Structure 1
């Protein structure tokens, strides 16, 4: 009996330790050998899939009884009523053929349809909601909460930046971690990516930090034009030419306000988002144009 108690304690301890190998806003579930997180703020199915992906996970699917138990556990943790959630099952590729994002057919999952489902209302229901242990086809544009899942894998370890994302690099000079995203996005999408990764669009607080960021940019983008813009966490919030960081600080308060030559110029029809040139000098830029962007995060932002 003592051996069994010790084994239970050991497994419990193991679960706690393992949970630190991904991110603290996810909960480790031993039965599904991975971590789950309920997003209580509802979104469309496409928003849910993207958010999970940006966090390094996938939109969870009820592929087994163990996963269904884990999903219900996460749903019960919500402070608000959570009758149904999006799962990663869809028929977007071929109507009526439902598969999980990992390629598991719905017919192989231990679930039943709700009464009257599937009904393909309006010939426009290609996503699946999980409701009280059953499923229903729904319009992918409806907004529902959702659960993300990260499966444990071999050689999965947290880097010095407190994340499993090896693209983040730590700077001892600033105490922050940085990641240059070379796939261009508009400013609002760049903000979303950095947030999902546990960080924010980079804020330059000093000339020393500007030097660090300039080095990162040159190493990861050695052939870029000297006029190429990289988005950072700077924005003209009220479009009144008063520049603030994404944390609400006035540009003059953060310790670095060195603009490029002739900048900011508010070129027509108006440049209200902030970026930097490869030399780390600041530039105002059009928010709806795509550009590379730089994320910054605290090494402890995803860990307890």
Structure 2
């Protein structure tokens, strides 16, 4: 019989053709479309965000906020756009004059004159003095728009920038494999609410860590030690980390995967398993590895995980 560690090695080995095939097979994420003509992947987000949040969402997915390098790329992406999301009329792109008023440049510092710059007639006009970001329409025209306004947006990942994490079988996002349980983990040190943390994990196609036994609890407690040694600014609950269980649906406590929470009382702080009578509705973990519950709005650090047998793009039950 295989040991669990040997089994994990076997899984990684068997998946290696797929893992190493990320460039050869032109695969990034299941929610991105690859265009051969541009050698890049694109995703048209249908949830409206501010320009700054759009930029952050793309980064969370390991991509960047799209802007067309030239007319050929603009035409190729617009053709894809018309095919898969024809009802989306405008989308933020990675161009703004936030740094210097009147000087439009890309998110990587190129002047707009060096890239695709077909403006809609009369634009940019800085209407009311607060249009510093740019969006693109299906006709291929650029328009300046309020950065705090909300719009759809497009993310881009070039094939040449794609780096693959072979052990975790996913795009490189800073996860570490714990072979004993067959999971990959990432400690996030930007304090967020439970829901925000869940969103960040989901963007990385993972989920908030679900502790199932003492071995895993001990590993995560060790993982959080790095946070204790760092000076992390912000008003947040120190020594506590958001974990992947909740009662936000009021259907009894469950993990973000829809499974029952651990029933071993020794895993819980003060041997207390949460119940319907508790006012707090979200899960957490102390730095010691003991599980607890917390107000969902509480800001804290958090850990995301991905099981080795998860398929990329798997949707979580709670979103």
Secondary structure at the residue paired with 1:261?
helix
Whether the 8 Å CA contact 2:44–2:85 is kept in 1: the answer is no
Q: Secondary structure at the match of 2:53?
A: helix
Please name the residue that 1:123 is paired with: 129
The match for 1:290 is 299
* DSSP 3-state at the match of 2:37: helix
Structure 1 unaligned runs (5+)? 1-13
Deviation at 1:83, TM superposition (A): 2.1
Correspondence for 2:240: 229
1:110-165 CA distance string (max 9 Å, x none): 33211232222222211111111111111223332211111234682332212232
TM-score of the aligned structures, taking structure 2 as reference length: 0.76
Q: Structure 1 residue 85: deviation in Å?
A: 1.2
TM, length-normalised to structure 1 = 0.80
Matches within 5 A, 1:199-238: 199-218=206-225, 220-221=226-227, 223=229, 228-237=239-248
Equivalent in the alignment of 1:180: 187
Equivalent runs, 1:54-65 vs 2, <5 Å: 54-65=60-71
Distance change (3 Å), C-alpha of 1:115 and 1:256: farther
Q: Distance in 2 between matches of 1:16 and 1:239?
A: 44
- In 1, Cα distance between the equivalents of 2:86 and 2:260? 36
Matched, 1:243 2:243: no
Write the distance in 2 (CA, Å) between the matches of 1:207 and 1:77. 49
1:19/1:27 contact within 8 Å kept: no
What secondary structure, in the 3-state scheme, does the structure 2 residue paired with 1:76 have? Answer: helix
Deviation at 1:250, TM superposition (A): 4.5
Alpha carbons of structure 1 residues 15 and 292: separation in structure 2 relative to 1, 3 Å: closer
SS at match of 1:191: helix
- The partner residue of 1:277 within 265, 275, 286 is 286
CA offsets 1:20-57 (integer angstroms, 9 cap, x no match): 2x323222333333222221222221221110011111
Distance 1:237 1:110, change over 3 A: closer
Q: Counterpart of 2:269 in 1: which secondary structure?
A: coil
Q: How many residues align?
A: 281
CA distance in 2, matches of 1:255, 1:69: 55
Asked if structure 2 preserves the Cα contact closer than 8 Å seen for 1:207 and 1:256, the reply is no
Residue deviations 1:209-249 (CA, integer Å, cap 9, x gap) = 3234334334x44648xx81111112241689x53322344
RMSD (Å), alpha carbons: 3.1
- Structure 2 unaligned regions, length at least 5: 1-20, 231-237, 315-319
Map of 2:114 onto structure 1: 108
2:30 aligned with 1:24: yes
Q: How far apart in 2 are the matches of 1:129 and 1:99?
A: 13
**Contact 1:33 1:152 (8 Å CA) reproduced:** yes
